[in-house]
Structure 1
């Protein structure tokens, strides 16, 4: 089965399942669905950064500081986060990624509920060649320097901005209140 034929849950603005559709149809029709973003850090705390392959359905050849992807029909966010992290990093036996927050990403052509996680990957990585064209572990300072130099996936930038805003001293959304795009709790 091709990735365009994968079945996804279609969800509403409150992240409730309202149907199912093929991934290709979800993208073509701009249907709201679910995705996971996993910030992978090595033993030194550096962030796994990669450039997506040119053949990706969404955001081909752009840089990303998260691994992840869509949540399959009937799959939990937590299970999808672990599956996607292991697949894209090319490792088995990762600890379960730690959930950080969720937000509704909207870009004018589609929307997806985005669950953001973090995981420590102390194993050697062997990223999938069909997913990852280039990769490296970069310090946060190196990532910050490249934000204005490289072309990044927009949903990853939105998630990263929310993650940075959640550092000590920044306001965070109240408990149980998922964020909507544009509402990232920054001071």
Structure 2
């Protein structure tokens, strides 16, 4: 099945399922759905960072400090987090990602002169996992990857073009850790 044809649960502002839609339709119509974000650390504690491929449906060719993606219809956040992390990293036998917090992502900066197109919105569950396996990321998903220290990641935040939802999740993760 092509990515745009994948069926997702459509949810309300309280994350309750109110329907289903194909992924491409959910994006085009701005239907709220669910996503899992997984921060991956290697054995040394470095963070997996990657650049998305130019063919991605959302945020092509941008950098991300999370792996993950949409939660399929009927799938739990926990199931999606593990599935997406293993798929994107190209590993099997990854430990279950640890759930940290959930937030509603709404793109506040959606000003592309598009005549009032729906603003993207999705419930986002943030996880963390340690991956001590050798990674072989999916070529269809990941154009470049590497493990970087937290200091290197912080320096790159000002230099690279980051996916806005991942950046929002990372900012919340920093705030979550300082609580």
TM over 0.5: yes
Name the TM tier (shorter chain). over 0.9
Give 1:110 deviation, angstroms. 1.6
In the alignment, structure 1 segments of 5+ residues that lack a partner are 171-187
Residues 160-186 of structure 1 show CA distances to partners (whole Å, capped at 9, x for unaligned) of 001111224x3xxxxxxxxxxxxxxxx
In the alignment, structure 2 segments of 5+ residues that lack a partner are 111-118
What's the TM-score once normalised by structure 2's chain length? 0.93
Measure, in 2, the Cα distance between the counterparts of 1:110 and 1:132.
22
Q: Which runs of 4+ in 1 moved over 2 A?
A: none
Measure, in 2, the Cα distance between the counterparts of 1:38 and 1:116.
6
Residues 5-24 of structure 1 show CA distances to partners (whole Å, capped at 9, x for unaligned) of 00000000000000000001
Give 1:62 deviation, angstroms. 0.2
Measure, in 2, the Cα distance between the counterparts of 1:148 and 1:105.
21
Work out which of the residue numbers 112, 115, 126 in structure 1 matches 2:136.
126
Which structure is higher in RCO with an 8 Å CA cutoff and minimum separation 6?
2
Aligned-residue CA RMSD in angstroms?
A: 0.6
What's the TM-score once normalised by structure 1's chain length? 0.89
SS of residue matched to 2:48: strand
**1:41-56 → structure 2 map (5 Å cutoff):** 41-56=41-56
Q: How many corresponding residue pairs?
A: 169
Measure, in 2, the Cα distance between the counterparts of 1:167 and 1:75.
28
